Amino acid sequence: MQKLIQYFQQQPKKIFLFDGLGAMLSTALLYFLLMPNAVWIGLSMTQIHALVIGALCLVGYDLIARIVYTSERGWLIKALALLNTLYCITTLSVLILHYSSITILGWAYFLGEMAIVGVLVYLEWKISAIPQH
């Protein structure tokens, strides 16, 4: 993990690419895998669609932030960490609100996704804590 932190500290713009690729993967999995199989997950199409929109917003943020990032705009990485945290909180809220209908597959997918995003959030907070040059 320390090597990843050092890598992204030296090339902070790349964290937006890394995060954006993950957000694209989440979007694709939600849209192409979970939506057609919503009954296996235990959420409605509307609920999954809302999560797709959230993931797409993160893709857009990552793209824009990668373009406009400078060392004076290091706050963009903190904002990314906050947005990813909010995505996890939103996902967890959906799971809690609909816990009785979520299947084992649904719990496994979403808890796995939140674990991965949680590691990414940790990485982003660590990167943003160190002054950029």
Residue boundaries of the structural domains of the chain:
13-129
**Residue 45 confidence class, pLDDT cut points 50, 70, 90:** very high
Distance CA(89)–CA(91), nearest Å, equals 5
Query: How would you class 16 by CB atoms within 10 Å of its CB: exposed for 0-12, middle for 13-18, buried for 19 or more?
Result: buried
DSSP letter, residue 71? G
**What is the pTM assigned to this prediction?**
0.92
Model confidence over 66-90: pLDDT tens digits? 999 998 899 999 999 999 999 999 9
Q: Where are the alpha helices (DSSP H) in the chain?
A: 2-10, 13-28, 38-41, 45-68, 75-97, 104-129
